[in-house]
Chains A and B, each alone.
Chain A
Amino acid sequence: MAMPSSGCLFFSSSPATLLLRPALPHLSLPTRRPPRPRQQISLHRRATRQGNPPGTNPAAASSQSSPATHETLTDELKWEEALPSCLLRESLPRHVAIIMDGNSRWARDKGLPVSAGHEAGYRSLKEIIRLSCLWGIRALTVFAFSSENWFRPKAEVDFLMTLFQGVLKENFDIFVREGIKVRIIGDSAKLPKPLQKLAKEIQDVTVNKTRFELIVAVSYSGRQDIVLACQKIAQKVKDRLLEPDEITESLFAQELETNHSRDFPYPDLLIRTSGELRLSNFLLWQSAYSELYFTKSNWPDFGEADYIEALQSFQRRQRRFGQRIS
């Protein structure tokens, strides 16, 4: 984890002192929180975060985690007080999508194994979920695993599946308590059976939560999403329930995997880390009018400052949806 810069801010680990936190500095100075050991829920021991050699089996380490004292996502703060002064509540995106790219590159740059990169990526995701809840963003979609990622080395894929399972298990209670609706989209048939079962369980339990929506795309392909929707509609046409000329865009959109969210179906802002400038088969239909934001930071380095910069960039944009604003 990077150290905080210039000593101009001190982040206490106590939740109550967050109320006394001064305003954030100008964004040209990157700021990083020091690690808070009590809140970190990790599948590895703390020593692994400091860059020790690999080899710890995440499945074996999972029983050691989940400390009793961990911070709730919103504490006793009111959301209005938590928003940084440089952001305006009325022009925040309601739905943010993130392509979490760059874990392997981050690990390679630091001389760590790829698994450490994914671990660090998980910690980064936790922080972004916490900030999103705090600042009033209502939905977050993350691209955890693409259908193309199945071609990666088997060891890495197995590690990732175990990581996802561990993450869902660890945070199950948090999602329920904080009112987070979890939704897993993608081809779940390819996932290991225990993960499928856990994913289904967590979706069933949190289906009525309304405070925040977390959509995790695992084994997801934007094109395949569209093809599956097409097949469902074709079945209706075959069964004479629908005529081809009655197919409209809204009817088609209801058949996509993201149809469950009535309020925030499409992302307003799509962030891609690691400097790559493409969509990589993620939410192709849904990102028709999304503002795209590309950052050179790798995902494990994407923290509060980068997130604020992305949101500020969104606030500066003029969204016209093909029309004129004059």
Chain B
Amino acid sequence: MFPYPFLRCMNFRMDKKLVQLLPIKLSNNIHGFLRKFLFKVLSFGPMPKHIAFILDGNRRYGKKWNLTEGEGHERGFCNLMTILNYVHEMKFQYVTVYAFSIDNFRRKADEVQLLMRLIKEKMDALVEDTSMADKLGIRIEFIGKLELLDESVREAAKKLMKATEKNDQLVLLVSIAYTSTDEIVHGVERSCMEVRDEDDDDDGMMIKLVDLEKNMYFGGYPDPDILVRTSGETRLSNFLLWQTKGCLLYAPLCFWPEISMRHLVWAVLKYQRRFFYLERIKKQP
């Protein structure tokens, strides 16, 4: 059962009708019960462990509903909390979100500042009140070229990582100042530094796939099983290119603030349909 404050952020139509007819707490209870029953049924099949999201369409959502500048992103953040609740109930272990790309720095300065301010506000709020993160057992990690961020944002990110480091039920990997090509180059750079420091007479061929992988930002974390990109665009936009070798790509037509439980359930059903074939692919070198 998710907390009442987030009910305002939801676009779930059935709940709006129930809210009009029933008390809020009762509708939350019924909704929670039905949801848990559905997730229990889903869990009879193979469940994915790691899901990744590209949070696309916040601004278009804002334009669609005539919201003020930044309100679309606020709603997107609210919806992220709701989705995290669902993901926690479905017993996922890792969630990755594409919060801010290195390419996004080329946008207009005021938009970049707005987004950075929003991100910092949310980080500070979560540091001050870690109740939600602790209740769900979420450990938050920030992945990317953090040195491109402002000092204040970087410090806030470090504080949040430290505040949630003891949680162990769900790992939230937030990709900020990240592109996959930059990650691969970073992995290459670190691997080359190791090679340079060795005094062997061997040639550079000693770098293997596992060496490169462990030096990447996402080294040590498993590859995602499902990648969801909202707003219907089917492209990766330089996100997890290395890691999505055998990952299911799902592109629902809704914007990020509109994504709901039914999209997640549908993604999991698609994954279960292809599970055995994907497992065979993953086991091959």
**Seed contacts A235-B204, A247-B188, A289-B235; 10 additional CB < 8 Å A-B pairs:** A223-B242, A230-B192, A230-B207, A235-B205, A236-B204, A237-B204, A238-B196, A247-B192, A323-B103, A323-B104
Contacts from B to A (Cβ < 8 Å): 101-104, 106-108, 111, 179-182, 184-185, 187-193, 195-196, 203-205, 207-209, 212, 233-238, 241-242, 244-250, 270, 274, 278, 281, 284
Interchain CA distance A234-B200 in the complex, whole Å: 13
Contact B248 A288 (CB under 8 A): no
Contacts from A to B (Cβ < 8 Å): 148, 151, 222-224, 226-227, 229-238, 244-245, 247-249, 252, 276-281, 284-285, 287-294, 317, 321-324
**Chain B residues positioned under 8 Å from A227 (CB to CB):** 207-209, 212
Q: Which chain A residue lies CB-closest to B101?
A: A322
Partner of A321 from the list B103, B191, B203, B204 (CB cut-off 8 Å) is B103
The count of A-to-B residue pairs whose CB atoms sit within 8 angstroms is 134
Interchain CA distance A206-B284 in the complex, whole Å: 35
Contact A151 B284 (CB under 8 A): yes
Contact B207 A294 (CB under 8 A): no
Nearest Cβ in chain B — how far from A5, in angstroms? 28
Partner of A288 from the list B181, B189, B205 (CB cut-off 8 Å) is B181
A-B contact pairs, 10 of them (CB 8 A): A223-B245, A230-B191, A230-B192, A230-B212, A231-B205, A235-B204, A249-B185, A252-B181, A289-B237, A323-B107
Interchain CA distance A109-B209 in the complex, whole Å: 38
**Chain B residues positioned under 8 Å from A322 (CB to CB):** 101-104, 106-107, 237-238
Q: Which chain B residue lies CB-closest to A321?
A: B103
Interchain CA distance A292-B103 in the complex, whole Å: 19
**Chain A residues positioned under 8 Å from B185 (CB to CB):** 247-249, 252
Nearest Cβ in chain B — how far from A236, in angstroms? 8
Interchain CA distance A86-B187 in the complex, whole Å: 44
Q: Which chain B residue lies CB-closest to A148?
A: B284
Nearest Cβ in chain A — how far from B58, in angstroms? 12
